[in-house]
C-alpha cells in the first residue's frame, strides 16, 4: 500500500536527493509546511515570514519499507540536534521536524527519538519537533529534483 510521510531536516534539495535512493520510496516532492501563510513562496520562507519549514513529502510502499525505517533514514540524513557544531547555520525554515498524520506515526517517531537520545549516537539531545501534518505546499518547479536538474552528486557540496 502506498503511504505518505512528511519530514523537514535542513535544505530540502539534499533531503530529496537522499530519499530518492531509499528502497521503497515511490516519489518525492519538496515544499513548505508547518507555518501560517497560505501558498508561501521560497523568498518568503527564506525570509522567515511564513513560519514554514523546507520539507519533503514522500510517497512510499509500506510493503517495502516501514515508517520506522523511513524515520531512521531521515535521522541519518541530517543532524537533528542544535549542537554548537551545527547551530551557526540554523534558520527556522531548516528546522528538524516530523509531520505526523496519526497517533501511530507520532508514537513511532517518539520511540525512535527516545532510542536515539539514549544511544549515545549524538553529542547533544535531538530537538526534532513532532507536529501534526497540515497543508503541504509544493515548492516552485525549479526546486523539484534540484540535484538531478543541476547534476549535483550526493557527495558534492551544494551550499545547503
- Residue 156, domain member (yes or no): no
- Residue 38, domain member (yes or no): yes
- Residue 159, domain member (yes or no): no
All cell numbers assigned to 3 = 503511504
- Span between the terminal Cα atoms of the chain, in Å: 33
- Residue 28, domain member (yes or no): yes
Would you state the pLDDT for residue 151?
A: 73
Helix axes 67-76, 12-19, angle to 10 degrees: 130
Per-residue pLDDT 10s for the chain (160 aa) are: 999 999 999 888 889 999 999 999 999 999 999 999 999 999 999 999 999 999 999 999 999 999 999 999 999 998 898 765 555 456 789 999 999 999 999 999 999 999 999 999 888 899 999 999 999 999 998 888 767 777 777 654 444 5
Is-catalytic flag, 124? no
Task: Please spell the DSSP secondary structure of 19-50, one letter per residue.
Answer: HTTSTTEEEEEEEEESSS-SS--HHHHHTT-S
DSSP 84: H
Domain count, the chain: 1
- Residue 22, domain member (yes or no): yes
Query: Looking at residue 93, which CATH number applies to its domain?
Result: 3.30.1060.10
- Residue 89, domain member (yes or no): yes
Question: Using CA atoms, how far apart are residues 150 and 100, in angstroms rounded to an integer?
Answer: 31
All cell numbers assigned to 131 = 507536529
Catalytic-role residue among 11, 124, 131, 160 = 11
Would you state the pLDDT for residue 142?
A: 82
The pTM is what? Answer: 0.90
Q: Which residues contact 54 (CB under 8 A, 6 or more apart)?
A: 8, 10, 11, 12, 30, 31, 32, 45, 93, 94, 139
Are the CB atoms for 97 and 140 separated by under 8 Å? Answer: no
Would you state the pLDDT for residue 155?
A: 56
Are the CB atoms for 6 and 133 separated by under 8 Å? Answer: yes
Domain that holds residue 89: 2-149
- Residue 109, domain member (yes or no): yes
- Residue 143, domain member (yes or no): yes
Question: Using CA atoms, how far apart are residues 148 and 157, in angstroms rounded to an integer?
Answer: 14
Amino acid at each position: 500500500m502506498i503511504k505518505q510521510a512528511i519530514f523537514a531536516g535542513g535544505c530540502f534539495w539534499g533531503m530529496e536527493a537522499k530519499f530518492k535512493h531509499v528502497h521503497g520510496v515511490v516519489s518525492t516532492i519538496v515544499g513548505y509546511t508547518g507555518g501560517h501563510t497560505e501558498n508561501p513562496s521560497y523568498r518568503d520562507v527564506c525570509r522567515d515570514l511564513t513560519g514554514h519549514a523546507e520539507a519533503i513529502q514522500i510517497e512510499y510502499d509500506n510493503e517495502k519499507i516501514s515508517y520506522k525505517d523511513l524515520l531512521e533514514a531521515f535521522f541519518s540524513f541530517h543532524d537533528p540536534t542544535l549542537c554548537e557544531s551545527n547551530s551557526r547555520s540554523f534558520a527556522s525554515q531548516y528546522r528538524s521536524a516530523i509531520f505526523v498524520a496519526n497517533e501511530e506515526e507520532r508514537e513511532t517517531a517518539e520511540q525512535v527519538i527516545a532510542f536515539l537520545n539514549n544511544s549515545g549516537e549524538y553529542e547533544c539531545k535531538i530537538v526534532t519537533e513532532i507536529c501534526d501534518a497540515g497543508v503541504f505546499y509544493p515548492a516552485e518547479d525549479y526546486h523539484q529534483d534540484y540535484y538531478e536538474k543541476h547534476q549535483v552528486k550526493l557527495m558534492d557540496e551544494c551550499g545547503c
